[in-house]
Structures are given as structure tokens and as C-alpha cells.
Structure 1
């Protein structure tokens, strides 16, 4: 199987992934062929962001936990040559090349040296701009990085698609987590409402009074923030109550 076929198979596998973590594992399985075994993707905290809030900027994280703890504890985001480079010139770059071009000082060398302690000797970083205009920094690293010029495009394409898919799944999970808590009866009433049944017909199907079926639908509309029955049904479908 050629490189193009491998990429198509990778994209197909991503479409079947059900969680952001599953997407991350698939990406690292591919990039591991080039020595890239760790992944970080997220927005870059503003200078001075409290350490307690820096982790919340990470959207995907497959870094060694001990390295992440040290990175946050020592506020390395403000000293990391790769982050600094990406702020100045947002484009695909090798970690080592970013450090060389910036002619980093002692603090930058300390970050790179500490990363090496966790078998992150070199890597790749590039920006990903979402449809909302948010800039996400994607960084892949490893101990023995071996990337040919031809492989750079494949890795960037695969990582871009994977991070986009992971964010899509992440947003879906967040929406699901925020969805209102409908009761089984409210859900049943909405399902029959989606079939075009009236309150009276729903009451006959479920063996309840018409007043009770009306009350269940009103409660469902209120919880869903819907303005009418049609809106409530649409929201219930969007949030997965009706399939």
C-alpha cells in the first residue's frame, strides 16, 4: 500500500473514531513511523496566565504527564522557543530549527533540554486555524525523529485532519454534557410529537391523560429552551434524544 493509500485509510479510521482520545492514538500510530510519539494541541495562553488555568488551554494532550506538570509548574509556555517562534511566524517548523533561528538564550535552552529528559528531543509544530478564527498550535515530538521532506506534507495533512476531527468530537461531547435532563416520559412524548401525534393521540398511545401528555411536552419545551413543538423536536433530535 502506497503513502496515498495509507493516508486514505487513516482518514477512514478517523471517521470511525468515537472519542478525541481515540483520534489522538490513531494519529500517533501514524506519526510514530517518523519518531513522533507525543502530541499537544491547544491554544497558547496569554503571558501571565495563572498556572492553574494553563492546562485548560490544552485541547489534546498525549505528552508524558510528568513533563506536562513540569512545563506548567515552571511556566515554560513563556520561555518555549517553539511557542515563541509560532507567535512570530506561524508556520510549520521543526523544534530544533525554531530554536536555531531564534538563537535562544539560557531559558529557551533549558526548556529544550528538559524536554529531552522526557524523550522529546525534537519535533514538529504548526498552526491550525479553526472556522471561528481560533489559532490552535499543534506540536508533535519524540526521541528519534526521522522525517524526510516528502513526509512533512503527509504529517501536516494527517495531523490537521486528526485535530479537526478530535475538536469536532470534543464539541459534540460538550454539547451532550450540557444537554438538559429530560425524563423518560418527556422523551417519549417528544418522540411521538416528532411523528406528528397530537397531545390527545400521545395520551392514548402512552395510557396517560391528555393533560399529562400536554404537561410533559410543556416541560420538555421549557428545558430545551424551545419556542414551540417543532423547535422542541428539532432540539431533541440535535441533542440525541430522538434518533
Structure 2
């Protein structure tokens, strides 16, 4: 079968808000139970939290637990997704033997929600982006049987979902770049912070007090939603607000 011959699940005007309903419709049509998609690596200047790139039909209780504990850092599926260029089946049994105990715990907990077997398709973009698209069934044999006749459809859905999600992330970056305005002093403080200068050293360079430097740095961090001035400096650089 020509994988690219499968019709798209999406309409030309669809945006990221259509991902979950469209994919829920597809897995229901195929007799499967869930889908899941997450961007594991996006553009270099993207600051979007990983949890915000997750689209799924999993039960809310499991999604909340998964994101709260940042299970994507240890999940065997995302682990292999980083390393694999081919689609792969996963589930309990032999698949888990290669993974550490703390990784297998993710599967043990997911089992309570009937999330037992899946097919995951890693999708890589031209700029090094990486996402994983997954369809799930509680029955291994059923999943394998369905995929024998739906490989092209599911693969096309994975690629189209990846494209829609990346377009949404690009829009979010654009909005972030155009929503934040730093004063010249704030930019100077962050630029020198990025160079490794302390507040006292920056004060000497700019000829103003250390307390004023700290005020400017704190103000910039607030505008950027940063944890501290060092985090703000990195964010401002990625958003091209400073050089």
C-alpha cells in the first residue's frame, strides 16, 4: 500500500483545535480505544512546555497524573520514540525487558486505565523536530489485526497531526515575540547577564545602582514569565529580544 495515498483525516482549514476530535473519530472508526500525540522536540527557540503539546483521548485522571509527574521523561514509549526512526508496537511483556524499573512503573499505572498495547509512530521534521503519535488498544491481537489494514491511514494521520501541531507552536512563538516588549535598560541588563556579569558588575558598566539593575532584571523576568534573571536572559535570546 502507498502510505501517502491514504486520504487526510483533516480538512484544509483545520487548526490544532481539531486534532483531538478528528483523531478520536478515527480511532473510533478503526475500533481502537485511544490516540495520543506529543511533541518531544520542537524548534530551538520554542519555549512551549511539553504538556501543552499533548493531544490525547486518554482519561483525564491519567493525563493529569502523566503530566504532573512528567512521565515523558521516563516513559518507555517516549524513550524509544527518541531513538527509533521506525514505527513500533509496544505493550506488556518482552517490550519492557529493556527498560529500567522506574520506567516500567509508567506501564503498571497506565494499565489501570486499560492502556496496555499501542503502535507508536515517531515523526521527524526538517528542522530536527520530533513528535510521537500513538494508537492504543487494550487487546494486542486486535491492535495488530486493525493495523494490517489501516497502516496508511494511521501513518498519514500521524504526519498531518505533526504538521498541524508544529504550525500551532509557530503561531504561539510569533505571538510571544510580539507580545513582550522590554525597555532598553531591561535588554541591557539581560544581555550582560547572559555574558555572565553580576548585578554589581552590570551596575558599574551602565553607571547606575545595583538595586536599579535588580529592578530592571526583575521586571524583565516578570514580563517573560521567567523563574529568575538568568532564565529571562535565555528566553529573551531565544525570542530574539536581545542579541
Calculate the TM-score normalised by the size of structure 1: 0.55
CA shift, 1:16, in A, is 2.9
How many residue pairs get aligned? The number is 168
CA shift, 1:170, in A, is 4.4
Residue 25 in 1 paired to residue 24 in 2?
A: no
1:12-91 superposed matches below 5 A: 13-17=10-14, 19-32=15-28, 33-43=30-40, 55-56=49-50, 58-62=52-56, 63-91=58-86
CA shift, 1:112, in A, is 1.0
1:119-158 superposed matches below 5 A: 119-144=114-139, 146=143, 147-158=146-157
Identify if the C-alpha distance between structure 1 residues 7 and 152 changes in structure 2 by more than 3 Å, giving closer, same or farther. Answer: closer
Identify if the C-alpha distance between structure 1 residues 165 and 140 changes in structure 2 by more than 3 Å, giving closer, same or farther. Answer: same
CA shift, 1:155, in A, is 0.6
* Per-residue CA distance 1:159-215 (angstroms, 9 max, x = gap): 2112212322443355357557xxxxxxxxxxxxxxxxxxxxxxxxxxxxxxxxxxx
Find the partner of 1:111 among 99, 106, 113. 106
Identify if the C-alpha distance between structure 1 residues 36 and 170 changes in structure 2 by more than 3 Å, giving closer, same or farther. Answer: farther
Q: Secondary structure at the match of 2:111?
A: helix
Contact 2:32 2:137 in 1 (8 A): yes
Calculate the TM-score normalised by the size of structure 2: 0.55
CA shift, 1:22, in A, is 1.0
CA shift, 1:35, in A, is 0.6
Identify if the C-alpha distance between structure 1 residues 161 and 75 changes in structure 2 by more than 3 Å, giving closer, same or farther. Answer: closer
The aligned residue for residue 215 of structure 2 is: none
Q: Secondary structure at the match of 2:38?
A: strand
* Per-residue CA distance 1:124-177 (angstroms, 9 max, x = gap): 212111221222222333445523323223211222112212322443355357
Contact 2:96 2:104 in 1 (8 A): no
| Structure 1: segments with no counterpart, 5+ residues | 46-52, 181-243
CA shift, 1:116, in A, is 1.8
Larger radius of gyration: 1
Identify if the C-alpha distance between structure 1 residues 114 and 102 changes in structure 2 by more than 3 Å, giving closer, same or farther. Answer: same
| Structure 2: segments with no counterpart, 5+ residues | 180-243
